[in-house]
Amino acid sequence: MKSINIGMVGYKFMGKAHSHAYRDLPMFFPKHIRPEMKVICGRNSQGVSEAATQFGWQEYTTDWNDLISRDDIDVIDINAPSDAHKEIAIAAAKAGKHVFCEKPLALTLEDAREMLAVVKETGVKHMVNFNYRFTPAVMLAKKLIDEGRLGKIHHFRAWFLQDWITDPNFPLVWRLQKEVAGSGAHGDLGAHLIDMAHYLIGDISEVIGMNETFIKERPLPTEMTGLSASGDENSQKGEVTVDDATLFMARFANGTLGSFEATRFATGHRSTNSFEINGSKGSVIFDFERLNELQVYFENDEEDVQGFRRVLATDDAHAYSDVWWPTGHTIGYEHTFIHAVTELLEAFAEDRQPVPNFEDGVKCQQVLDAVDLSIEKRQWVQVSDL
């Protein structure tokens, strides 16, 4: 197989990031299977047409059913709003298409499980785009853990802090509506932390959470693009139906203690997606705002020079460094998407399931739901009970 044909649903923020990944990938990974940018799909005809031209798709359509029924499409890439994931993914799989789905996989655990069942049944390849896994500095953390260089892990703490809705006049965009977004900070940001925890530490046994919607009513939106939008103090208001912030504590199957916080009310933090891991032999700290760096500490360094090292993960020894620029020359947010797509392509080349896939999407949703249940019940919940 030399190339695979992509049909993509969605053309906004994520659609742009995915398109760019397909577009850039062949230049940097010339030996990989080539992703052909066949058809892009969106509901707004003018919007999707412009996106097709701008992003470099060969065709566009406004009906995802058309997309799925075409013979010349191998993979359906779903980055439509979260409430549409399930229907499209299931239909795609049933049509024999492989599925590459943005996170969160679905709005509920039940839906996610149904999606997983279908992709398994149909035998298609499936991947969920937890793109942060594919940050070289994160992959270095993973490597250190896997090689035992951090020892037994005692603590995992993770926080995803944003501040884009602290203004009470920020309008009621779709991300603040439960029926479309599923949840707020929890599903949007917390989901990334949970997947990171699964990737780096392993299964979570039990959780207990708390959440809050600090601003309960907001003006209805008049316009929006990406994460920015405009509202008006005098506009009619609607109820915010998702969480502004969700925190939870967790115990992992391997005994690690976990602490998680996702919030959109951390004034001053544009997008601080961070974790720290403490093991018996060492520790690591990561912050996505400085995504090329990993702070690393080793217990057995010589006594007089122990301290966290600021490792710039652009050296020969780091993932993907051969592909990009010389050591010391950094990459950005968008590169995590390119790396994620290489995993999809390698799975095709090796005829295996990509990782993370729908299993991981379900596991993530299971924890998200367990946290929500623990909030409702005000007590610890076993993840396996869901």
Please choose, from the candidates 88, 78, 55, the residue with its C-alpha nearest in 3D space to the C-alpha of residue 127: 78
Site string for a copy of itself, 246-265 (x = CB under 8 A): -xxx-x---x-x-x-x-x-x
Q: What is the C-alpha separation between 168 and 150, in angstroms, rounded?
A: 43
Stretch that binds a copy of itself, among 70-78, 79-87, 102-110, 284-292 (CB under 8 A): 284-292
Q: What is the C-alpha separation between 58 and 11, in angstroms, rounded?
A: 14
- Residues numbered 110-169 forming contacts with a copy of itself, rule: CB under 8 A: 140, 143-144, 151, 154-155, 157, 159, 161-164, 166
Binding-site residue total for a copy of itself (CB under 8 A)?
A: 99
Q: Does 174 bind a copy of itself (CB under 8 A)?
A: no
Tell me which of 81, 297, 346, 382 binds a copy of itself, using CB under 8 A.
297
Task: Please state the φ and ψ torsions of residue 60, each to the nearest 5 degrees.
Answer: -140, 160
Question: 86, 343 in Cβ contact below 8 A?
Answer: no
Give whichever of 123 and 255 is closer to a copy of itself, judged by the CB atom: 255
Least separation, in Å, of the C-beta of 174 and a copy of itself? 15
DSSP symbol at 48 = H
Give whichever of 68 and 153 is closer to a copy of itself, judged by the CB atom: 153
Site string for a copy of itself, 209-238 (x = CB under 8 A): xx-x-x-----------xxx----------
Provide the token pair at 162. Answer: 């944003």
Q: Does 278 bind a copy of itself (CB under 8 A)?
A: yes
Q: First vs last Cα of the chain: how many Å apart? A: 40
- Residues numbered 365-384 forming contacts with a copy of itself, rule: CB under 8 A: 378-380
- Residues numbered 323-352 forming contacts with a copy of itself, rule: CB under 8 A: 324-335
Least separation, in Å, of the C-beta of 97 and a copy of itself? 25
- The DSSP annotation for 192-224 comes to HHHHHHHHHT--EEEEEEEEE-S--EEEPPSEE
Tell me which of 245, 262, 364, 368 binds a copy of itself, using CB under 8 A.
245
Tell me which of 90, 296, 341, 371 binds a copy of itself, using CB under 8 A.
296
Q: What is the C-alpha separation between 293 and 281, in angstroms, rounded?
A: 20
- Angstrom distances, CA of residue 276 to CA of 206, 259, 287, 300: 20, 10, 9, 19
Q: Does 20 bind a copy of itself (CB under 8 A)?
A: yes
Please report the beta strands in 16-89, taking only residues with DSSP state E, as ranges in sequence order: 34-41, 59-61, 75-78
DSSP symbol at 340 = H
Least separation, in Å, of the C-beta of 377 and a copy of itself? 8
Tell me which of 47, 178, 308, 382 binds a copy of itself, using CB under 8 A.
308
DSSP symbol at 33 = P
Q: How many CB atoms lie within 10 A of CB 176?
A: 25
Give whichever of 100 and 248 is closer to a copy of itself, judged by the CB atom: 248
Q: Does 183 bind a copy of itself (CB under 8 A)?
A: no
Q: What is the C-alpha separation between 377 and 386, in angstroms, rounded?
A: 14
Stretch that binds a copy of itself, among 101-109, 123-131, 187-195, 282-290 (CB under 8 A): 282-290
Task: Please state the φ and ψ torsions of residue 2, each to the nearest 5 degrees.
Answer: -100, -30
Tell me which of 69, 222, 280, 384 binds a copy of itself, using CB under 8 A.
280
